[in-house]
Structure 1
Amino acid sequence: MNVIRIACAALCLFGLAGAASAQELEPSLSTRTLVTVDPHAHYKVVYDIHSADVAAGISKGLFYARGLIEAYRKQGVAPKQLDIHLVMHGEAAQYLLIDSTYRDVVDDPFAVNLNAKIVQDLLGLGVSVEICHSVMKSKGWTADDVLPGVTIVHDGYTRLVKLQNDGYAYIGGF
């Protein structure tokens, strides 16, 4: 059942179900107002990603952050209008490691970090992907263990507080 829910979520978030209009998906919307975002505005968001939970085989936080970009795109907002920071700490930090270090962490000599591709995709869309140095230090990881392009921040909590103080919308629970 969870596999079906994840597949449906992937279809919805990534638009793989087709480009049906809201009216085609739900006829009652033709008589109701659909609230959307301002396609000309800029949006600031920070994700608090700390768990090792997965969705569709990758970090749940990374999965939903990519889905947010797609949801904005469907409403006419380009990625350049989004200022998104993904602060990864706790168990989620392992998803930002190069394959050789990731293999050691998951204790599997054949493991591949499936998160590396989505991290590179997100970085290419202008998302700031950040790893907590405190977690790195406690695990014995160095900057060389971290995927290219990932920003190292002193610690996840002070980074989250700073971004919220700077007006970023907080999305947590990952």
Structure 2
Amino acid sequence: MKNLLSTALFVLFFSLAFQVQAQTPQFPIVKGFGGIYEIPDATERPDGTLEYKILVDLTSPSEDNKQISRFVDNVARMMNLHGLAGVTKDRLKVKVILHGGGIFALLNDENYKKRFEVENPNLKVFEALKAAGADVMVCGQSLIARNLKTSDLWPGVRVAHSALTTITTYVPQGYILLKF
């Protein structure tokens, strides 16, 4: 009986492990970044018929500056999760405002390398986010506080007057605020 139970548990464990490993990450909206997985048992999903307006307030610095910031990649994941549920790119309005310690993820390769001794791994993610329709902005006040100029940054970013006023501008327009 003990052997039968052990064998059954062994088979169950490896069949579950195989099912998890068998899935390949998907990138329905942001190509190559923010990989996500289908969850067949999910009963709570985004409504593919709605328009989603999302403002991401990204202040968290990278945990490892030699790797893609999980906070930047999480923007791509969020967009891809909506896409996997049937929300089309034209119904997904995403704005990202970086400020505080998060702005260093926007440094161009030259300035990132001076600061962290590697090229900026986040720039490819920002390019993919922009190609997917995300509007990436940086807080002008944070730039001044950190003695940075627009020319120090990835050229695809827009400079906002401030993160605070960006939030107070878009939330009344129906954007939901997510904090990363």
TM-score (norm: length of structure 2)? 0.74
1:96 aligns with 2:106: yes
Kindly provide the amino acid, as one letter, of the partner of residue 45 in structure 1.
I
Counterpart mapping for 1:1-174 below 5 A: 11=25, 14-15=35-36, 22-23=40-41, 34-54=43-63, 57-106=67-116, 108=117, 111-172=118-179, 174=180
Query: How many percent identity over aligned positions?
Result: 21
| Ranges in structure 1 where 5+ consecutive residues have no aligned partner | 1-7, 24-28
Q: Segments of 4+ in structure 1 off by > 4 A?
A: 10-13
CA contact (8 A) 1:132 1:152 kept: yes
Quote how far apart the aligned CAs of 1:160 are: 1.4
Distance 2:122 2:81 in 1: 21
- How many positions carry a matched residue from both structures? 150
TM-score (norm: length of structure 1)? 0.77
Distance 1:162 1:121 in 2: 25
| Ranges in structure 2 where 5+ consecutive residues have no aligned partner | 1-20, 27-33
CA contact (8 A) 2:68 2:121 kept: yes
TM-align CA RMSD: 2.4
Quote how far apart the aligned CAs of 1:86 are: 0.8
Distance 1:169 1:90 in 2: 20
Once the two structures are overlaid, the 10-residue window that deviates more, 52-61 or 134-143, is 52-61
Instruction: Give the 3-state SS of the residue equivalent to 1:14 in structure 2.
Output: coil
Distance 2:44 2:147 in 1: 47
Distance 1:104 1:138 in 2: 19
Instruction: Give CA-to-partner distance per residue, 1:134-166, whole Å, 9 cap, x none.
Output: 111122222211112111001111111211121
Distance 1:48 1:162 in 2: 13
Distance 1:57 1:73 in 2: 25
Distance 2:99 2:45 in 1: 32
Instruction: Give the 3-state SS of the residue equivalent to 1:39 in structure 2.
Output: coil
Instruction: Give CA-to-partner distance per residue, 1:36-76, whole Å, 9 cap, x none.
Output: 22212110001111011348922232111111111111111
CA contact (8 A) 2:62 2:105 kept: no
Instruction: Give the 3-state SS of the residue equivalent to 2:167 in structure 1.
Output: helix
CA contact (8 A) 1:94 1:105 kept: no
Distance 1:144 1:127 in 2: 21
Structure whose alpha-carbon radius of gyration is higher: 2
